[in-house]
Structure 1
Amino acid sequence: MPSTTVLSREPESIGDTANGKAKAKAIPYVVEDCLGVMKLLSDGTVIRSAPPPFPAGANYDDGRVEWKDAVYDAQYNLGVRIYRPRLGQVNSKLQLPVLVYFYGGGFVFGSYSWPKNHAGCLRLACELPAVVLSFDYRLAPEHPLPAAMEDSATALRWLATRISSRSDPWLAEDACIFLGGQSSGATLAHHLLLRPHPMVKIAGCILLMPPFLSETATQSELETPDTAFLSLKMSDKYFRLMMPVGANKDDPLVNPFGPASPSLETADVGRMLVVAAECDMVRDKDIEYADRLKAMGKDVELAVFPGQEHAFFATKPFSPAADQLLTVIKRFLDQRK
């Protein structure tokens, strides 16, 4: 839903108040504009618009999947949407995996209720098949990182409690649990994987085009045009909005191999699928991430999708590339057997 938040306000008037004169209050202007759906004004006001609509007449919910909403963090009013194939769509004896999924949006916009995010999760639940949980999290600039990382950890604890208490018939106690996400959601999954989570065992992780960064620019960053869905210019805008004051691109929040980042050598990352897109600004970083983990002896599969841009599963959830992506993810999940 559209919303307006004020981070700070300028004085009501400016000028020589000693002489009883004051200039009219300055009219706020747009400082940062993220695809029109989130605008930061000069007085600190954050304006969030309605999400981009799904194409008119598109029937992306054919009834094969049922879903419900719940609140997982009452303090911040954060919700989760849970999906599962309807009874009769899959073998009743089949133990469905559970996919904890985080959507993308540069940490500054998005929601599980956005039409294209919802459509993607419907496809995941139906075609993998799986029980899919799509979690909201706090967004910047109102809540800079690591707020979203803290929320993802809260989400996993909530899930673990729901499973152990047997309070939700959709969540089997012995189900295989996978972490996953697209774009900034993949960054969340990466960080969540590195946290201790004694209450739940993670069977694997699916990272779709994580936007890792570093102070040293890569070839794919330099060659990506400003007209791309994610360009270096747009990435820098997200960075300014989402990061703590004074942070740079080698911060552990965005660079898994930065000088202050925790070592991945001893991290138990389990099985991992990393998906990169050929025409993506972060392509080189994603490939480097997978290659370096492989060199550490980790069980990592890398899939590079030719001709695709960043976050293509969100922007084009019913494209041939999205079909191929679902096939790759399904094969990865099926290898758990």
Structure 2
Amino acid sequence: MSGPTAPSNSIDVDPYQHLQLILNADGTVTHLAEIPNTPATPDPSSPMPVLSKDIPLNQSNNTWVRVFLPRQELDHSSSSPKLPLILYFHGGGFIRFGAASSVFHEFCATIAIQLHVIVVSVDYRLAPKHRLPAAYDDAMDALHWLKTTTEDEWLRNHADLSNTFIMGTSAGGNIAYHAGLRACVEADDLEPLVIRGLILHQPFFGGSQRTESELRGNDPVLPLSVSDLMWELSLPIVDRDHEYCNSTVEGGSQRLQKIKLLGWRVLVTGCDGDPLIDRQMELIAMMEEKGVVVESQFGKGGYHGEEILSDQPSKAKALCAVLKNFILSSLGG
């Protein structure tokens, strides 16, 4: 995901200009536009309805997480029911944004208060400096960190690790999916953390053969040329049918049987104005074919990332209602 610009035909869009970045000779990129960040607000005396704090994850990789806690939970007794936990991965085409980016900070805070959950947002490593599967490795770091974290008071006192969901937006939805494919194989090793489901919000997938929705070329946020560049900078090899990109290749689909056996449920949300909708429909069809319980919710019109980037609060509110119903129906006893 990038910031919104005026709609135009994707064939004519310069992806470097659209994303405001320069590709350096050494293969790294320089971002020309500063992305607004929001500091964490851990002070319990803060009037904020949602508190947040940053905690190191893997110091050798310089990764960390931002934990979001509804402030009212601090007023509850230790006997109060603990909250479900969402492990969240931000969007940005694997190359932009972070857990502190204001658009994703605000989104996570909204989810925490509206869904009455704890959110742990992962600041994973970005491409092209760290190409895939670095972000997937960071996702697994986060899951293993969660299962053993007893030092943090918020998580120890308020998080119900037996009701954990893996969620991501756009590229983060791709990360959430691949983290799920890995985690289902390691489910026993993750206890007492128990995953109940995956939430894929406008997940970012691709392939070598263009789809009808990709060829429309009129999305203000994700023109086709921008999507192409994101994959070019993030995949380990030049192959748009690599399993990291194309969800329908056999490497990933084989592990869906394990997700089915574990009883995980999957929610895929988006809109039919998103150029990625055909990819998302392919993913849903493949999961259903493997017997995975999948729910989907797609709005009319719209554009990629609209619930986060839109100035209409009703978009995020509608998404939160869908997420809340999914989580409540997926909780373990």
Q: TM-score range by the shorter chain?
A: 0.7 to 0.9
Alignment partners' CA distance in 1, 2:154 and 2:203: 29
Q: Of the two structures, which has the highest relative contact order with CA contacts closer than 8 Å and spacing of 6 or more?
A: 2
Q: Which amino acid aligns with 1:46?
A: V
Q: Does 2:233 correspond to 1:241?
A: yes
Counterpart in the other structure of 1:290? 284
Q: Per the alignment, do residues 46 and 85 of structure 1 end up closer, same or farther by CA in structure 2, a change over 3 Å counting?
A: same
TM-superposition CA deviations, 1:184-213 (whole Å, max 9, x none): 001111011111332132111100011111
Q: Equivalent residues in 2 for 1:268-287 (5 A)?
A: 268=259, 270-287=264-281
CA drift of 1:236 comes to 0.5
SS at match of 1:266: helix
Q: Which amino acid aligns with 1:266?
A: Q
Q: Per the alignment, do residues 149 and 174 of structure 1 end up closer, same or farther by CA in structure 2, a change over 3 Å counting?
A: closer
CA drift of 1:173 comes to 5.5
Larger Rg: 1
Q: Does 2:32 correspond to 1:40?
A: no
Alignment partners' CA distance in 2, 1:321 and 1:221: 23
SS at match of 1:118: helix
Counterpart in the other structure of 1:74? 59
CA drift of 1:258 comes to 1.8
Report if the CA contact (8 A) 1:32-1:39 is conserved: no
Counterpart in the other structure of 1:313? 307
Counterpart in the other structure of 2:107? 120
Report if the CA contact (8 A) 2:162-2:194 is conserved: no
Q: Which amino acid aligns with 2:216?
A: E
Q: Does 2:104 correspond to 1:111?
A: no
Match of 2:221 among 218, 229, 243: 229
Report if the CA contact (8 A) 2:205-2:276 is conserved: yes
Q: Equivalent residues in 2 for 1:320-335 (5 A)?
A: 320-335=314-329
Alignment partners' CA distance in 1, 2:135 and 2:85: 21
Match of 2:134 among 141, 147, 151: 147
CA drift of 1:42 comes to 4.0
Q: Per the alignment, do residues 95 and 178 of structure 1 end up closer, same or farther by CA in structure 2, a change over 3 Å counting?
A: same
Report if the CA contact (8 A) 1:287-1:302 is conserved: no
What is the alpha-carbon root mean square deviation over aligned residues?
A: 2.4
SS at match of 2:241: coil
Q: Per the alignment, do residues 45 and 283 of structure 1 end up closer, same or farther by CA in structure 2, a change over 3 Å counting?
A: closer
CA drift of 1:39 comes to 2.4
Alignment partners' CA distance in 1, 2:20 and 2:148: 35
What 5-or-longer segments of structure 2 have no aligned partner? 1-13, 38-45
Q: Does 2:238 correspond to 1:266?
A: no
Counterpart in the other structure of 2:204? 211
Q: Which amino acid aligns with 2:22?
A: K
TM-superposition CA deviations, 1:131-152 (whole Å, max 9, x none): 0000011111111111111111
Alignment partners' CA distance in 2, 1:121 and 1:158: 20
Alignment partners' CA distance in 2, 1:218 and 1:46: 29
CA drift of 1:262 comes to 4.5
Q: Which amino acid aligns with 2:210?
A: A
Alignment partners' CA distance in 1, 2:207 and 2:315: 28
Match of 2:89 among 102, 114, 124: 102
TM-superposition CA deviations, 1:19-66 (whole Å, max 9, x none): xxxxxxxxxxxx962644532134545213454449xxxxxx971011
CA drift of 1:231 comes to 1.7
Counterpart in the other structure of 2:49? 64
Number of equivalent positions: 296
Flag as ranges the 4+ runs of structure 1 deviating above 6 A.
none
Report if the CA contact (8 A) 1:255-1:261 is conserved: no
Alignment partners' CA distance in 1, 2:123 and 2:64: 6
SS at match of 1:176: strand
Report if the CA contact (8 A) 1:116-1:317 is conserved: no
What 5-or-longer segments of structure 1 have no aligned partner? 1-30, 55-60
Question: How much identity, in percent, do the aligned residues show?
Answer: 31
Counterpart in the other structure of 2:10? none
Give the number of the structure whose residues are more often helix, by fraction.
Answer: 2
SS at match of 2:199: strand
Alignment partners' CA distance in 2, 1:34 and 1:129: 39
Q: Which moved more, 1:87-96 or 1:75-84?
A: 87-96
Report if the CA contact (8 A) 1:64-1:89 is conserved: no
Q: Which amino acid aligns with 1:77?
A: N
SS at match of 1:213: coil
CA drift of 1:119 comes to 0.4
Q: Per the alignment, do residues 184 and 201 of structure 1 end up closer, same or farther by CA in structure 2, a change over 3 Å counting?
A: same
CA drift of 1:127 comes to 0.6
Q: Which moved more, 1:193-202 or 1:119-128?
A: 193-202
Q: Does 2:154 correspond to 1:170?
A: yes
